[in-house]
Chains A and B, each alone.
Chain A
Amino acid sequence: MTTAQSTPAKTATPSTTATPAARVQNAVIKYGFIFVTVALFLYFALSEGSFRESATLLDTLRYVSVAAILGLGVTLTMAVGGMDMSVGAVAGLGVSVAAQTMVVYNQIGTVAIVAVLAAGAVVGLLNALLIVVLKIPDMLATLGTLFIVQGLKLVLVDGQSITPGMTLDDGTTAPGKFTEGFLKIDRGTVLGIPISVLVFGGLTVAAWVFLARTRWGRVLYAIGANPEASRLAGIRVGAYRALAYVLSGVLASVGGLILASRIGQGDVSAGTSQLLEAVAVALVGTSVLGKGRPNVWGTALGAVLIGIITTGLTIKGLPYYTQDVVEGAVLILALVFSFTLSKRRTA
């Protein structure tokens, strides 16, 4: 994933090999995924009446918003040639921190939000410290943080889920509860659109502007494509890599906020399934638009694609536990697109 990155500005693939077969292959690589998504969407929509309801569609988006936002963070770290495995754990930590703040310490939702975002930033800084300063390979460092954060989350809540009205260690009853405002993050709507979906959309646009249109994003991609050339061009490579991990941590904690609002309690297992989904979404994203490199729209579309498939199959009556198999298959297919097919194209 570090070989052929570039910024999303005009780098249209030169069609020097214009044989019909090559052109078809190029089209398949570029639009194949979108085509599959649309085809599946139509199939589900035509065969299942309930799939057509707008509530179902919004629910699908609401469902994928957490993995998608986590995936945006993973995309940022992939842009600098790294990887963040800790995003799911950070989201889980966010759930516990939110619950702890509101239920145990009886604080308002705003305080909880600040606490959760701060926790995400701290984990991001820890990742940056391990990777940039201590030079541990990204995958291993963030895997280590994953375990620490997951453990920390359990320590924080004494290994049990925090629910409003639960009995605390000192025998008293937990004074607080999830505030109405906080619960609205996932359950409330604006103009009929769930707030979590709006957050997902807003962050996608923001991340796209940041990564594709600003000099900071340009620099992140440069570091991912050639770190030494970036350093010799006067870029503070370490600082920018640290930035990517901190942003990833903060984005993951935003995912945690949505998750906490959705669950409405401090579920100890929250965030576990989001890790793999987020990484999968970002990897699918590298191939969705045939770019072969991490990009924001790819990640967002990849998330929506996975959402459509899982919702559609659920409506079709496929048991929930086959979901992982399906998601895995989609990921592998995406990787075939980005590695096998695009390699052959350039060969």
Chain B
Amino acid sequence: MSPTETAAVSLADVSMAFGGKTVLESVSLDIAPGSVVALLGANGAGKSTLIKILSGVHTDHGGEVRVAGEPAALQSPLAARQLGIQTVHQRIGEGIVPGLTVAENLVFEELAQRRGNPFLNGAKLLARAREIQAGLELGWSDALLKRDVTELGISDRQLLILARALATRPRLLILDEPTSALSAAEAERLFALVEKMRDDGIAVLYVSHRLGEIDALADRLVVLRDGRLTEDQAKPFDWDAALRAMLAQAQEATTARPVREGTAGEVALSLRGVRLFEGRTPLDLDVRAGEVTGVVGLLGAGKTELARGLFGAEPFAAGAVALDGKDFAPRRPADAIRAGIHLVPEDRHADALVPGWSLAQNISLPFLKSLSRLGLVNTAKEDALGRDTIAALGVVTRDEHSTVEELSGGNQQKVVVGRWLAETPRVLILDEPFRGVDIGARRDIGRRARTLAAEGAAVLVLSADVDEVLEVADRVVVLAAGEIHLDAYGEDAERDRVIQTISASV
């Protein structure tokens, strides 16, 4: 951007905190008109918060937002739109209105804000819709415009939302993971549109974890990590540096590699020909007892699919798994738990914790049977188990009767991990166990994982953060798009090599 040119939208020193936890820390960013700026960041880095500030959802932030050089008050989503900031959200379902026609959906924003005459003029509405689709060269016939919007496929819905956003001639268009539901060919169509927008002088903020897309589309790349902008590059991009800024801790935060405490035992889990995604090469993997196996990969690499498949939450489409040499095909989590395979899921709120329940009750949930006689829950035993877990993992809490909501994120995570330690697991799978967890809790959980391995369990840690994995794992496996790209022990699993493998696999 030349110094004389005014930024379409600029952020100056923007900060945001939720309940004392800083999510964005003095972020400054100028977005020039007619440019595509890619925003990268791991989960929880603050991307969505930034988007929500720009789209007028979060209003109580620090710092200043300027639109075309003027200080702007983005007090509501409507205010943001009126100032020319349009956002296309990841979830397409949030944008379309089922039951209305394609044309009505295209002009929906104008319909919703219209004053005066309450009666719809079908002909006028159709004419306007025609105009919008022509402007984007969508090539949609009148017949299609008159159909119910639910008859459109997912990529056409995405285009519709985009067209609607562009019909207002925005200054800044925010695209949040726009290709996550599209096929390669459909994505191409979207890219052509994005390029057309840029040529029309629209500024585009492009949020995606697909590095290939960013490489092809973006003029500039910024990385957000833990609420700070850590990287700002112009084309051509240095991907190693970008990934390092996005995935790796600052050097001083990392600790020495773990020293193997047990000896690598026999194979506990053996995967043969397991297919994580349609159309990808099946993978083979042996997970050994007595060690921590770390699986690193970006979002969408297949980590969660691997974890949920082994746990029986979403059985694998193809392939065979053996547990201690015997065929193992869990049809539901209960089967896996009975076999000694335990999972700490990625999203503790959605998939692990029961809201409103006490710590003791949350911990005992999977093993209520062994705490009951004739069906009656022995609450004294249950409380004792809760206290043991609190002590074992160093959970910071008033006592075992506190509700989980009273705990910090890190301590909630300790509860979720701790619940599986009531019965020594054969295999413990930890999916993103350190997300939203402070450094102290991370150490405690990591230490616990290593102790378990030393006691003979097979521990599988899955994470997008290279350093988190290196901190805890004896062995590192790099996963990308459902395929294994690196499988190395100790010194061979060196940090730069892991990062290079990830960036080469993109």
- Interface of A with B (CB < 8 Å)? 3-7, 9-12, 14, 209, 213-216, 218-219, 221-222, 225-226, 228-236, 293
Cβ of B375: which chain A residues have Cβ within 8 Å of it? 214-216
Cβ of B63: which chain A residues have Cβ within 8 Å of it? none
Closest to B352 in A: A229
Cβ of A9: which chain B residues have Cβ within 8 Å of it? 358, 361, 379
- Cα A209 to Cα B350 in complex, Å, equals 29
- Cα A234 to Cα B423 in complex, Å, equals 14
CB atoms of A225 and B354 under 8 A apart: yes
Cβ of A4: which chain B residues have Cβ within 8 Å of it? 355-356
Known: A225-B355, A229-B350. A234 touches B372 (CB 8 A): no
> In angstroms, how far is the closest chain A Cβ from the Cβ of B350?
6
CB atoms of A6 and B361 under 8 A apart: yes
- Cα A9 to Cα B362 in complex, Å, equals 12
Cβ of B334: which chain A residues have Cβ within 8 Å of it? 234-236
CB atoms of B353 and A218 under 8 A apart: no
CB atoms of B352 and A232 under 8 A apart: yes
Cβ of A233: which chain B residues have Cβ within 8 Å of it? 333, 337, 352, 365-366, 419
Cβ of A215: which chain B residues have Cβ within 8 Å of it? 368-369, 371-372, 375-377
Cβ of B350: which chain A residues have Cβ within 8 Å of it? 226, 228-229
CB atoms of B332 and A226 under 8 A apart: no
CB atoms of B358 and A228 under 8 A apart: no
Closest to A7 in B: B361
> Is residue B357 within 8 Å, beta carbon to beta carbon, of the partner chain?
yes
Q: Which of B313, B361, B419 contacts A218 (CB 8 A)?
A: B361
Best-surrounded residue of B336, B371, B372, B377 (most CB of chain A within 10 A): B377
- Cα A231 to Cα B337 in complex, Å, equals 11
Closest 7 CB pairs of A and B: A6-B356, A234-B337, A215-B368, A214-B375, A234-B334, A233-B366, A215-B372
> In angstroms, how far is the closest chain A Cβ from the Cβ of B352?
5
> Is residue B311 within 8 Å, beta carbon to beta carbon, of the partner chain?
yes
CB atoms of A230 and B372 under 8 A apart: no
Q: Which of B353, B377, B406 contacts A14 (CB 8 A)?
A: B406
Known: A218-B377, A232-B343. A7 touches B352 (CB 8 A): no
Cβ of B252: which chain A residues have Cβ within 8 Å of it? none
Q: Mark B327-343, 1 if CB is under 8 A from A, else 0.
A: 00000111011100001
- Cα A3 to Cα B355 in complex, Å, equals 8
Number of interface residues of B (CB under 8 A): 35
> In angstroms, how far is the closest chain A Cβ from the Cβ of B446?
22
Cβ of A236: which chain B residues have Cβ within 8 Å of it? 332, 334
Known: A213-B377, A234-B334. A229 touches B357 (CB 8 A): no
> In angstroms, how far is the closest chain B Cβ from the Cβ of A161?
42
Cβ of A11: which chain B residues have Cβ within 8 Å of it? 356-358, 401, 403
**Which chain B residues (462-492) contact chain A, with CB distance < 8 Å?**
none
Q: Which of A7, A216, A234 contacts B333 (CB 8 A)?
A: A234
> In angstroms, how far is the closest chain A Cβ from the Cβ of B14?
26
> In angstroms, how far is the closest chain A Cβ from the Cβ of B36?
37
Cβ of B419: which chain A residues have Cβ within 8 Å of it? 233
Cβ of B352: which chain A residues have Cβ within 8 Å of it? 229, 232-233
Cβ of A232: which chain B residues have Cβ within 8 Å of it? 311, 313, 333, 343, 345, 351-352
Query: What would 16 A/B residue contacts be, using CB atoms closer than 8 Å?
Result: A6-B354, A6-B355, A6-B358, A7-B361, A9-B361, A11-B403, A214-B375, A218-B377, A222-B357, A222-B365, A228-B351, A229-B352, A229-B365, A232-B351, A233-B352, A235-B334
Q: Mark B158-173, 1 if CB is under 8 A from A, else 0.
A: 0000000000000000
- Cα A5 to Cα B366 in complex, Å, equals 18
**Which chain B residues (284-318) contact chain A, with CB distance < 8 Å?**
311, 313
Closest to A215 in B: B368
> In angstroms, how far is the closest chain B Cβ from the Cβ of A157?
39
- Cα A229 to Cα B403 in complex, Å, equals 16
CB atoms of A229 and B351 under 8 A apart: yes
Q: Which of A6, A214, A231, A235 contacts B377 (CB 8 A)?
A: A214
Cβ of A229: which chain B residues have Cβ within 8 Å of it? 350-354, 365
Closest to A237 in B: B332
> In angstroms, how far is the closest chain B Cβ from the Cβ of A162?
40
- Cα A10 to Cα B368 in complex, Å, equals 17
* Contacts beyond the supplied A218-B361, A229-B351: 14 A-B pairs with Cβ under 8 Å: A5-B355, A6-B356, A6-B357, A11-B357, A11-B403, A14-B403, A214-B372, A214-B376, A215-B372, A219-B368, A228-B350, A232-B311, A232-B333, A233-B366
